[in-house]
Amino acid sequence: MNAPLLEVEGLRTHFFTRAGVVKAVDGVSFALAPGEILGLVGESGSGKSVTGFSLLGLIDPPGRIVDGSVRLEGEELVGMPTRALRRLRGRRIAMVFQDPMMTLNPVLSIGTQMSLAIRAHDAVSDKAARERSAAVLARVGIPDARARLDAFPHEFSGGMRQRVAIAIAMAHSPAVIVADEPTTALDVSIQAQILFEMRELARESGTALVWISHDLATVSSLAERILVMYAGRIVEEGATATVLRDPRHPYTRGLLDSLPATAEPGRPLNQIPGTTPSLLALPPGCPFAPRCAHASGSCREDPPRRAAAGRAYRCHHPLERVA
């Protein structure tokens, strides 16, 4: 593997609430190679979005990165002064949110806000910025891009807005784009268009993607490598197809079995019992143990991370390999 572009080590992001400390992200480590598409999957509260936000230093109080490091192209982002961070955000690392209106300002025309985003980092004329805006809009598949620069966000459909948000993220050809459930709110036909375009864009521009999603099928069609998160930790990781075909962690298996597509129609799904634990009161040891059919006494201690040939999982009782 080449030198990693992004290195995350022992990341801990906690929220200090009146009810107690919420350990949203608790010891996450991974590396991202240039141009790689990495899928980060998990259910609500697994810490996948907070991980994504932490990469860009977008954690507001009462939340705080309490430990760990995030290095982008060798530069440490944790603890970096806000001014320095702002010089990187949008230029070297950008984010696409689930709701495009998190990115878009409803009272500015698309052209104005795209120009602002471009001129935030590059000293170019307004005219040149508009030219570039039209060019990126065209690249994300917006027809008649130049004329659409004068339109306002409310004149766009949800899918078109998300395309604009992606265009803004792409405007500076960043090294990394963190995409947090960017197609979840969209209809399937639009979702397929955007997935296809994102993959092409990433390939053409060499941008690496961290694709955060709860949908295993979407991630499997896009990401080369997958990280499965549960209760703030990575429980399994590896090449996407390998992990999904042959999961070693019982939680990954459970997630797969919960998908209606994997069972015969009309038959009960092989469900995971119980619900995700409260992050305020995590059980000691493996957080999945209370829902796990294989749990034993040793699960009360934190399972070690076991790694082998690009594969890793955290479990005392890994599932047997399917032949």
What is the contact surface with other proteins in residues (CB under 8 A)?
A: 43-44, 157-160, 187-193, 195-196, 214-218, 220-222, 239-242, 244-245, 254-263, 265-266, 268-273, 275-276
At its nearest, how many Å lie between other proteins and the CB of residue 193?
5
Number of Cβ atoms within 10 Å of the Cβ of 156: 18
At its nearest, how many Å lie between other proteins and the CB of residue 254?
6
User: CA 84 to CA 80: how far, in whole Å?
Assistant: 7
Cβ proximity to other proteins, 77 vs 216, nearer residue: 216
E runs forming strands in 73-202: 75-76, 93-96, 176-180
Cβ proximity to other proteins, 105 vs 275, nearer residue: 275
At its nearest, how many Å lie between other proteins and the CB of residue 293?
14
Cβ proximity to other proteins, 8 vs 231, nearer residue: 231
Q: Residue 21: which of 232, 281, 234 has the closest Cα?
A: 281
- Pair type for strands 305-308 and 176-180: unpaired
At its nearest, how many Å lie between other proteins and the CB of residue 27?
22
- Pair type for strands 225-230 and 63-72: unpaired
Cβ proximity to other proteins, 2 vs 44, nearer residue: 44
Cβ proximity to other proteins, 84 vs 241, nearer residue: 241
- Pair type for strands 225-230 and 233-239: antiparallel
Q: 158: exposed, middle or buried (C-beta count within 10 Å: 0-12, 13-18, 19+)?
A: middle
At its nearest, how many Å lie between other proteins and the CB of residue 129?
27
Contact 113, 167 (CB under 8 A): no
User: CA 203 to CA 197: how far, in whole Å?
Assistant: 10
Q: Tokens in use for 125? A: 């004329």
Q: Tokens in use for 163? A: 């395309």
Cβ proximity to other proteins, 153 vs 159, nearer residue: 159
At its nearest, how many Å lie between other proteins and the CB of residue 69?
30
Q: 256: exposed, middle or buried (C-beta count within 10 Å: 0-12, 13-18, 19+)?
A: middle
At its nearest, how many Å lie between other proteins and the CB of residue 116?
27
R_g of the chain computed on alpha carbons = 21
Cβ proximity to other proteins, 133 vs 191, nearer residue: 191
User: CA 178 to CA 51: how far, in whole Å?
Assistant: 10
Cβ proximity to other proteins, 65 vs 255, nearer residue: 255
At its nearest, how many Å lie between other proteins and the CB of residue 206?
17
User: CA 52 to CA 47: how far, in whole Å?
Assistant: 9
